[in-house]
Amino acid sequence: MKRILFCLLLTVNLLPIFAQEKEYDIVVDRNGRGNFRTIQEAIESIRAFDPKGTVTVFIRNGVYKEKLVLPTYVCNVHLIGESRDKTIITYDDHANINQMGTFRSYTFLIRGNDITLENLTVENSAEQLGQAVALHLEGDRIIVRNCRILGNQDTIYAGRDNCRQYFENCHIEGTTDFIFGPSTCWFEKCQVLSKRNSYITAASTSENNIYGYIFNQCDISLAEDVTSVYLGRPWRPYAMTLFMNCRLPEGINPQGWDNWRNPENEKTARYMEYNNSGAGAATVQRVRWAKTLTDKEAAVYTLENVMKGCDGWKINN
């Protein structure tokens, strides 16, 4: 009788776990209690251009020291961590190791379309010895929700023109140019931490692309002893960046924007602000070539307009 009761209790206790795991197609667990022990193995198991639709991958808490690549033929994948702070993907390459350069220093490279990351941490833990990308994005229609993206120089490389990437409720931190590249990106209610007197963004928006980086309702913060941070500098001449409805702290450089030692960039860079608050939001001393939008001008910059592209993509909130 006792054995029967024990089995019944064990079954009842495990039911929530079994029910939860039935919601996912693949479970990754470092301790061997899932389908795979590594995330890369899980990615490689997914059928190319799978016609069944979205594949969900649940990643249990743990530190996954992996240099991940999600290729172009792996699409419609939802990677969900068990908890944002305890499901950690980390690696420690930087640009000056064997002359690998910035673009091979990534921890996680995503080339496929329609990928969602949720509830996890992507980190480049390299010491400050060179550019070190944590998250390298080349896919279109990428969503990053409730994630931590951690690094120093060049944390996020939004790396492909005419591709769209949406960040919501994320913590993003770095030192120099730590959000950079040519993609169209919308940052919604993100916490952005600048850890050095330097530059937050280095957009390289193409001339023909209307939208570059839009930060909306974001909280910008500075590490202790950081006193002079620029909102951005143009990696390429037509860089486009807008901060709107954001909190900008004391320590944002009063000029706001830098021309990257090239006055010619002032003629083409598209740098804008609208309705920001905080001690760093005053625009009186901003560079003359940056723009403070009117209500009418700002009304164009909606999530729908920026993300819709040619296919009418809509973000599901």
What residues are labeled active site? 154, 177
Classify strands 179-181 and 142-145 as parallel, antiparallel or unpaired: unpaired
Residue 274 to residues 146, 235, 264, 283, 293, Cα–Cα distance (Å): 25, 22, 24, 10, 5
- First-to-last CA distance in the chain? 50
The two structure tokens encoding residue 141: 């229609």
Torsion angle defined by CA atoms of residues 267, 268, 273 and 274, in that order, rounded to the nearest 10 degrees: 100
Please name the residues in contact with 176: beta carbons below 8 A apart, sequence gap of 6 or more. Answer: 152, 153, 154, 196, 198, 199
The two structure tokens encoding residue 237: 């001449």
Query: Which element (helix H / strand E) includes 69?
Result: strand 68-70
Please give the radius of gyration of the chain, using alpha carbons only, rounded to the nearest integer.
21
- Asked if residue 146 lies in contact with residue 167, where contact means CB atoms within 8 angstroms, the answer is no
